[in-house]
Structure 1
């Protein structure tokens, strides 16, 4: 696993939900803020407007992608002047949104121009959310560009086809395509950041070969007895230069990140497997179950056994 793949794997909980929604003008739909989720909207056909009280309306065309890494509330409408209906979801709704709850929804209106939107959302475990997701802006808009983003457009077409025509295997294909779509969105956004002058943060870190090499080493083998010197060797830098660069970009020292990743990995194993505590301790670099339990409680506020029972 690489860092970007792990960002999705460790945070996601439950099954993602998605739907193709067909709106007939005039229409307007509010989407409430849902903490603990990530969501996206892709315009498959027609056009619409993204509306926010704090910003100028943004016109969205066919192929445009919206990504909301913090589940922020937003409104889509056929025209900025159209009144929007009540939110399609509430923070208490475990299904995230009734618009996402089925494979195809037809919002028949007055027979006006049609807009088709691919909606999707994930629930995430905020206790395991990777810092990369936490540092993303509330909304990322990727305008349609088949020449620059052909893989993203291909994933969109495949996902839309599965949602429009359910067949054998759709239940397994859709979650995999949602993962693929989300990874393409993140990959594109991260790749575009250096051109905007980003010198710190996760976007800069994942475009820095030295820091990326160290991160991959940590993620691939969290149980290794990492020291700053060993990680600096992975990065091909001196110990001091590596520590400065890593801390500036990631926002915490190298060994603090190692501990965070070990405890995050342990939390996922406790929730998703029945592995004994001793086995999990070894997998994340602790030869003593007692030392592992103390480190886990400092991070998560619960002993490993209590965390597993609660989850």
Structure 2
């Protein structure tokens, strides 16, 4: 019940101009880009490609994305990739290299560097500590 109430409150705030991923999803152009980013997480996204997906110029897209989500497009992408990494570390026995490729990094080393910088531990250490579902919550305003 608490989760449902929190979700209702978050959804009702979206109309009042709050910042976050729900606010971004109310914009059809941003929603299209966010959907593509989520569906094709392993794609080597750049702001220009996301803007093209949204049918916008690069600068207009970046400004609107930041205004609506509170994060830059590539910051959001990194946070989403790390969220998916945590989910895969927790729910599968895939290697860090296999997870890296699934979430858009070319190597396990590249993923490990970003993960360590953002989380303070390596993906392997995070997995060994047996992080629960609460630890898979993304750092910026994501689902």
> 1:209 is matched with which residue?
28
CA contact (8 A) 1:201 1:250 kept: yes
- Give the unaligned 5+ runs of structure 1: 1-17, 19-37, 41-66, 70-138, 141-185
1:237 matched to 2:56? The reply is yes
Following the alignment from structure 2 to structure 1, what is the Cα–Cα distance between the partners of residues 111 and 14?
Answer: 38
Comparing both structures, which one devotes a greater share of its residues to helix? 2
Distance 1:267 1:199, change over 3 A: closer
Comparing both structures, which one devotes a greater share of its residues to strand? 1
1:277 matched to 2:96? The reply is yes
- Give the unaligned 5+ runs of structure 2: 131-143
Compute the TM-score of the two structures, normalised by the length of structure 1. 0.39
Distance 1:290 1:193, change over 3 A: closer
Secondary structure of 2:3's partner? Answer: strand
Q: 1:228 aligns with which of 43, 47, 53?
A: 47
| Superposition deviation, residue 200 in structure 1 | 4.5
Compute the TM-score of the two structures, normalised by the length of structure 2. 0.81
Matched length? 130
| Superposition deviation, residue 68 in structure 1 | 3.4
Decide which structure has the larger Cα Rg and report it.
1
